[in-house]
Structure 1
């Protein structure tokens, strides 16, 4: 009984290629959803927040805790609690960014509410 030793390898190759194909198709669908999750404006729209009902704390919890810590006491980024900055300085940082902080995270129509909330943290 001579069996062809190549057949098992061919079957494994076919199953492997099929698996790669299906995982790639699934990954394409997941990448669109991940991009939507990372977009702060999309998160704000999903939460139903408009300029009149902006929640600075909720926005900070979705956009800021990754760098500034869950309690905003610092992490990769500096602490947000007890900042010795004026309202104009905070607004400038939010608009232009600073060091590793990206610019334009907070929508301009909600800037005043966000600055006020940041300065109230203790």
Structure 2
């Protein structure tokens, strides 16, 4: 008669599980560092004076609410926003947000200025 020790399979599973957790944690730490480095690099690029095209800024930060064609969605239609607001007013709205639900500070000052000028031309 052979006697099997029932604890050994559970011990192997536990060791494999612990190693998997350690491995995934190490990968997560490396990814966090990469994300932080990428974020810092993006801020430095913006500080360097090169601002992305207003269309790109809009697509990245605004289109999810205002629609990629500016026609609105869960937020107001911007196809003719230049009729109602000047570029300076639009910039202030972008930077400070509104009481009606638009959050402020989604983009930096230079990006807000470029975006406001572009939106101000929509008439």
For 1:97, the equivalent position in structure 2 comes to: 97
TM-score (norm 1): 0.71
- Counterpart check, 1:67 vs 2:68: no
Would the aligned equivalents of 2:51 and 2:111 in 1 still touch at CA under 8 Å?
no
Would the aligned equivalents of 1:44 and 1:59 in 2 still touch at CA under 8 Å?
no
Distance 1:4 1:121 in 2: 77
Deviations 1:36-63 (A, max 9, x none): 66x5x81782xx8954654211222222
Would the aligned equivalents of 2:71 and 2:79 in 1 still touch at CA under 8 Å?
yes
Pairing of 1:4-23 with structure 2 (within 5 A): 4-23=5-24
For 1:85, the equivalent position in structure 2 comes to: 84
Distance 1:79 1:43 in 2: 30
Q: 1:93 to 1:18 in 2, by over 3 A?
A: same
For 1:58, the equivalent position in structure 2 comes to: 56
Distance 1:78 1:59 in 2: 17
Instruction: Give the Å deviation of 1:77.
Output: 3.2
Distance 1:36 1:66 in 2: 26
For 2:26, the equivalent position in structure 1 comes to: 25
The answer for unaligned runs of 5 or more in structure 2 is: none
Would the aligned equivalents of 1:49 and 1:55 in 2 still touch at CA under 8 Å?
no
Higher relative contact order (CA 8 A, sep 6+): 2
Structure having the higher Rg: 2
